[in-house]
């Protein structure tokens, strides 16, 4: 199980830095830059922990915490400067679970995140969702047909989506072109090579940073395609 974390801070450098450390630790990271964006993401995607700044435009961290607590028991870690002692206390009173000061010690940050996730998954209301397919930064919610790569939403055609889901459900296995065609198009494959190749090329252009050197969908010459497990 790969946990999805939401990092929310109006400082883009802080968000990028936190996301980098968390992704290296194996977490899937979503990014927001104010409370309104954070709440919108929570409505669209399953999140297991939130790192939330206090001072933000549009909707501050304390108000966002109150809104989240009306419906969710997700762990919330408040981000605050050393001088903002009142914000730390207020955050905890408003329903946050912990706080960490800026600048961050990476090891301390990861330890606090791990601790809160452990509490949530063993004592909270968390339920593992088998309908969410995750491989590295590639995330597919099959209930709502949502696809994200490194937290960014990706728009796929129905056929591209079916191919991706089929490959992800069989991660680590080499799937032949005939297998892919018959599974996705639901008809007998006679000469499907060009059809499948064209759709996978378009799919790669949408989900890969460099389609010519794909991270996710790789060709096995003479055999088919594979999504390697991360």
The 3-state secondary structure of 42-99 reads HHHCCCCEEEEECCCCCCCHHHHHHHHHCCCCCCEEEEEECCCHHHHHHHHHCCCCEE
Domains (range + CATH), the chain: 4-123 (3.40.50.2300), 132-227 (1.10.10.10)
What would the mean pLDDT of 183-205 be, rounded to a whole number?
87
Q: Check pLDDT > 80 for residue 108.
A: yes
The angle subtended at Cα 69 by Cα 66 and Cα 70, nearest 5°, is 90
Q: Check pLDDT > 60 for residue 149.
A: yes
Residues 202 and 217: beta-carbon distance below 8 Å: no
Confidence of residue 127 (pLDDT cuts 50, 70, 90): very low
Confidence of residue 128 (pLDDT cuts 50, 70, 90): very low
What are 8-65's pLDDT values in tens digits? 999 999 999 999 999 999 899 999 999 999 999 998 888 999 999 988 888 888 889 8
DSSP 128: -
What would the mean pLDDT of 182-209 be, rounded to a whole number?
88
Q: Check pLDDT > 70 for residue 87.
A: no
Residue predicted with more confidence, 125 or 75: 75
**pLDDT on residue 100:** 86
User: In DSSP terms, which residues pair with 175 in a beta bridge?
Assistant: 225
CB atoms within 10 A of CB 12: 10
Residues 186 and 147: beta-carbon distance below 8 Å: no
Give the pair of three-digit tokens for residue 51.
């790192």
For the chain, first and last CA: distance in Å? 11
Give the pair of three-digit tokens for residue 76.
């919330």
């Amino acid at each position: 199980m790969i946990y999805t974390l939401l990092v929310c801070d109006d400082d883009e450098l802080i968000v990028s830095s936190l996301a980098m450390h968390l992704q290296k630790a194996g977490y899937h990271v979503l990014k927001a830059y104010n409370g309104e964006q954070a709440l919108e993401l929570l409505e669209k995607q399953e999140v297991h922990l939130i790192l939330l700044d206090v001072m933000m435009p549009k909707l501050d961290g304390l108000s966002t915490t109150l809104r989240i607590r009306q419906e969710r028991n997700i762990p919330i870690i408040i981000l605050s400067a050393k001088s903002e002692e009142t914000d730390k206390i207020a955050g905890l009173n408003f329903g946050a679970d912990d706080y960490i000061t800026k600048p961050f010690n990476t090891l301390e940050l990861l330890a606090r995140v791990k601790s809160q996730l452990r509490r949530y998954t063993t004592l909270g209301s968390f339920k593992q969702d088998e309908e969410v397919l995750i491989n590295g930064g590639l995330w597919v919610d099959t209930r709502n047909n949502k696809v994200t790569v490194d937290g960014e939403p990706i728009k796929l055609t129905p056929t591209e989506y079916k191919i991706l889901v089929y490959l992800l459900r069989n991660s680590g296995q080499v799937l032949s072109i005939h297998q892919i065609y018959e599974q996705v198009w639901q008809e007998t494959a006679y000469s499907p090579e060009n059809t499948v190749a064209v759709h996978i090329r378009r799919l790669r252009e949408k989900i890969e940073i460099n389609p010519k050197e794909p991270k996710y969908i790789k060709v096995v010459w003479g055999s088919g395609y594979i999504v390697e497990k991360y």
